[in-house]
Structure 1
Amino acid sequence: MFEFEAPPPDNRDDALHFVFQEGQLVSELRGGGNPAWSLRQLELNGWAVRREQFIGRWQGRPCFAVELETAQLDPMQHHCGSLYQLLGRVDEPLFALAGRAAQLLAWERDHRFCGRCGAPMVLDARERAMRCDGCARSVYPRISPCVIVLVTRGDYLLLARNARTRRPFYSTLAGFVEAGESLEHCVAREVREEVAVEVETPRYFSSQPWPFPDQLMVGFHARYASGAICCQPEEIAHADWFHYRDLPPIPPAGSIAGQLIQSYLDEIA
């Protein structure tokens, strides 16, 4: 269980550390890709720390996000890569915690200077905020809400391959919520824009924090209403209706897209 608002510990002997370098997650090769490091491991590696943040407690243990100074890591001992490497390999709470660490480090890095007056900003000791001593402006971590929707028509699922990724699987449709827009309106608009299909009765499924870089994915099921598939080429490389017994490669079960698909397969089974 997460305790985001817990106070920092008096000592870090049993603390977990999520280590990043240039936005990439550093994991131990011999530990099966475990993303969490002990204080002893950090000390043995002798890494120089650029910035760090206490991010809360998990299962009673204090957790820290750590960003290293740029240095050559030992390729025989360490792996440096995207958070995607954790999907399906660690429990979802651990993935979410690593994502929180990545988001908070990126937020601090992106707000080193005030956007209003240009003065340097510092971490506020009283709350999770970057504070400008020049004009007293405070900036808090921001989340970008997105909808992700599985459109279905009886035994068939509408799945698409994104034009901007090399990952060889088909997934559900998704998009960012616009200012002044409801989640349900966004579901209908995104499906219409990406594949020219109209949907009805969007039904909330669940949500998932998605640290690429700072999204909150809000999942929906929706039924096909009308229209023929016509892909928006800048967004969708290919889309089609797939029978539930003959699906293409789909996202891992740890992602909300995979969970949307599996929940529908369970429902019609």
Structure 2
Amino acid sequence: MHLPFNRSALKSRFCLQSPDADPGRAECLLVLQRGALVLDEARGDLPAADGRLPAGVAPDVHVGLWDGRPCRLRVLSGKTDPGNGFSCHRINAVEPTLGLDLLSLGGLGQQMAHWLKTSRCCSQCGAATVFVPGSWGRRCPACDAERYPAVAPCAIVLVRRGNRVLLTRKSNWPAGRYSLVAGFVDPGECLEETVVREVREETGVEVDGIRYIGSQSWPFPSQLMVGFVAKALTEDIRVDTSELVDARWFRVDDLPDLPPKRSIARYLLDHCLEK
């Protein structure tokens, strides 16, 4: 599915490699700072590895090839000024200032930075870990335990009943913004069971006729959003106020403010309702 943050959105400009594929030099840098991608302002592209940027909070790590050039990941402290000639672009901006390829690269970098930060020490014994050769996995030299980048699966669903759709609202969203029911998969569940449970828990509505549409990598910090449509069997809503501030039925020709187009939530609404 051609959505932001999916690998296809990189337009063949980026080739992910393992850190040990580092050729011994970097020609460009994938630089992140507090959820933003840092770009060379004049070129509108990744900065060159020419010494102009300050050092990161940890050593740079080779991530792959950007336009055929060796690229390393660097994470700057939030207190560091990148300096003149560089601009910062929020990866989760409501209206992104980045093209699809750079936005997706920034998201991938954010996922890898999260993995590097959370895998430095062994979860079994606490010892420092090292990279597993040829991969992004981490191995503990002390107890030989291995870990690999974790991706949390989430189900998100467009629930329909005739010419109406079920939308929900959370307190931290922009004023008037509504979106779809979504939630993490519980242990022992398949994705379709997650859909049924999440819709029931958040709204009290029962569903069936669940149909898979597509998925999206979601690097905030490391989820896979799996999108479905479903038919409502019941109509009465009972809002779970521990998670939502509102849930209601909207006519498809009278929808509220919706999520930005970079999200699979908006894709499900636009793609499915136009049919």
TM range, smaller chain: 0.7 to 0.9
Which structure 1 segments of 5+ residues have no match?
Answer: none
Distance 1:231 1:244, change over 3 A: same
1:251 Cα deviation from its structure 2 partner:
0.7
- Partner AA of 1:24 in structure 2: G
- Report percent identity of matched pairs: 35
2:120 partner amino acid: R
Contact 1:26 1:35 survives alignment (8 Å)? no
**Equivalent position of 1:3 in the other structure:** 15
Paired residues of 1:51 and 1:68 also in contact (CA < 8 A): no
Q: CA deviation at 1:103?
A: 1.3
Q: Secondary structure at the match of 1:141?
A: coil
Change (3 A) 1:101 1:74: closer
Partner of 2:159: 151
- The residue matched to 2:274 in structure 1 has which SS? helix
1:54-73 matches, cutoff 5 A = 54-58=62-66, 60-69=68-77, 71-73=79-81
Q: What SS does the aligned partner of 2:107 have? A: helix
Aligned: 1:266 with 2:274: yes
Q: Following the alignment from structure 1 to structure 2, what is the Cα–Cα distance between the partners of residues 187 and 196?
A: 12
After TM superposition, the score normalised by the length of structure 2 is 0.83
Q: Is the 8 A contact 2:192 2:210 kept in 1?
A: yes
State how far apart, in whole Å, the 2-side matches of 1:8 and 1:29 are.
23
Higher relative contact order (CA closer than 8 Å, sequence separation 6+):
2
Contact 1:24 1:83 in 2 (8 A): yes
More helix by share: 1
Q: Mean alpha-carbon deviation: is it higher for 185-194 or for 53-62? A: 53-62
Q: Report the structure, 1 or 2, having the larger strand content.
A: 1
Verify the 8 A CA contact 2:53 2:82 in the aligned structure 1. no
1:167 corresponds in structure 2 to 174
Q: Which runs of structure 2 are paired with 1:245-264 in the superposition (5 Å)?
A: 245-264=253-272
Contact 1:131-1:138 at 8 Å conserved across structures: yes
**Residue 138 (structure 1) shift:** 1.4
Return the alpha-carbon distance in structure 2 between the equivalents of residues 100 and 74 of structure 1. 21
RMSD: 2.7
Equivalent residue letter for 2:26: R
C-alpha distance 20-249 of structure 1, shift in aligned 2 (>3 A):
same
The answer as to whether partners of 2:17 and 2:64 remain within 8 angstroms in 1 is: yes
Cα shift at 1:58: 4.9
Q: Secondary structure at the match of 1:193?
A: helix
Residues 133 and 119 of structure 1, relative CA distance in 2, 3 Å threshold: same
Q: Does 1:243 align with 2:251?
A: yes
Q: Distance in 2 between matches of 1:86 and 1:66?
A: 24
Aligned length: 260
1:108 aligns with 2:116: yes
In the alignment, the residues of structure 2 paired with residue 31 and residue 191 of structure 1 have an alpha-carbon distance, to the nearest angstrom, of 47
Instruction: Give yes or no for contact 1:157–1:242 (8 Å, CA) kept in 2.
Output: yes
1:248: Cα distance to partner?
0.7
The offset of 1:116, in angstroms, is 1.1
2:25–2:70 Cα contact (<8 Å) kept: no
Q: Point out where structure 2 has 5 or more consecutive residues left out of the alignment.
A: 1-11
Q: 1:221 to 1:94 in 2, by over 3 A?
A: farther
Q: Return closer, same or farther for 1:35/1:157 CA change in 2, 3 Å cut-off.
A: farther
Moved more, 123-132 or 146-155: 123-132
1:212-246 deviations in whole A, cap 9, x for unaligned?
A: 11100000111111141111001111111111221
Per the alignment, residue 12 of structure 1 pairs with 26
- Equivalent in the alignment of 1:219: 227
Query: Greater CA deviation, 46-55 or 93-102?
Result: 46-55
Conservation of the 8 A alpha-carbon contact between 1:18 and 1:35: no
